[in-house]
Structure 1
């Protein structure tokens, strides 16, 4: 009789260990599935509220979609004074232009002096208090892109520059 009780207890321990292992596996699978969902399924682009206006539509229209993305560096950094409420600051911005295709690259290089003049006008009209924030830098980049596109469209009758990129930004 004692042998029978011993066998029943050992069978119960095996079932308990099996249930514990199953529960651990289920918890690990659920956690792994949740982690996968948050890491890989959450990459849908989120529309920013500030970019829903005319400026975002203006930036997206008539972009040359074909061709490899090429970058045209401006020969020198833009250094200018930016007035602010508390004090005036010195700003230095290094810029590159993103264009599509070799033809647009050549057109952008041909008109670098005009592009530099346009960028300097846009940059010098900015406020130092705005440039300290990330939103202010993004707005400045968007204004610069829109102005350069407008000037190049007037000259060449085509969209040459896809985007103005800041590769260096220092404010003192």
Structure 2
């Protein structure tokens, strides 16, 4: 009788143990499949964007003008720090913080822009500091400041690299207190 109980106990444990290992194995296989699909998807996306970059940016450097080329993928270069400055307001001075990203075309323009971030930061700080709280309150004022910033950044980059490089100056955050 005792032997029968032991046999029944061991036979009950075995299927439960096998079931647990089957579930763990299936989960592991599913995880591996998900990882493979994710890697395949990401590699396919990188190869497609690399091919389009190579096809679009195949011109020689002599063909470049001072204006950024309108071909290639748009790339964004973020300024490492937000711009914080004080502007005069109606009744009191206001503190302003602006987060900026620059839109460029092509990897070459992106790399050159990144190399000259200190020059760009200085130029943008001059433009932003010359603004007023009234300008920063209206959409038209913000647009005027963005256009002036773009013009000044292109001019500064042209004096150093011979190319404007930047296509747009984008405000990704603006806070005024």
TM-score by length of 1: 0.63
How far is the alpha carbon of 1:85 from its aligned partner? Answer: 2.7
Aligned-residue offset at 1:127: 0.8
Deviation digits for residues 87-145 of structure 1 (CA, Å, limit 9, x no counterpart):
11010000000000000000000000010000000000001111111111111111101
- State how 1:1-172 maps to structure 2 within 5 Å: 62-172=67-177
SS at structure 2 position matched to 1:65: coil
Q: Deviations over 1:35-61 (max 9, x none)?
A: xxxxxxxxxxxxxxxxxxxxxxxxxx8
TM-score in terms of structure 2 length: 0.61
Question: Which 4+ stretches in 1 moved above 4 angstroms?
Answer: none
Note if contact 2:150-2:169 (Cα within 8 Å) is conserved in structure 1: yes
**2:150 counterpart SS class:** helix
Q: How many residues align?
A: 112
- Work out whether residues 76 and 101 of structure 2, in 8 Å CA contact, stay in contact via their aligned partners in 1: yes
The alpha carbon displacement at 1:66 in A equals: 1.6
> Does structure 2 conserve the Cα–Cα contact (< 8 Å) formed by 1:73 and 1:96?
yes
2-structure distance, mates of 1:116, 1:62:
20
Deviation at 1:67, TM superposition (A): 1.4
**CA RMSD across the alignment:** 1.1
CA distance in 2 between partners of 1:101 and 1:159 (Å): 13
> Tell me, which stretches of 5 or more residues in structure 1 are unaligned?
1-60
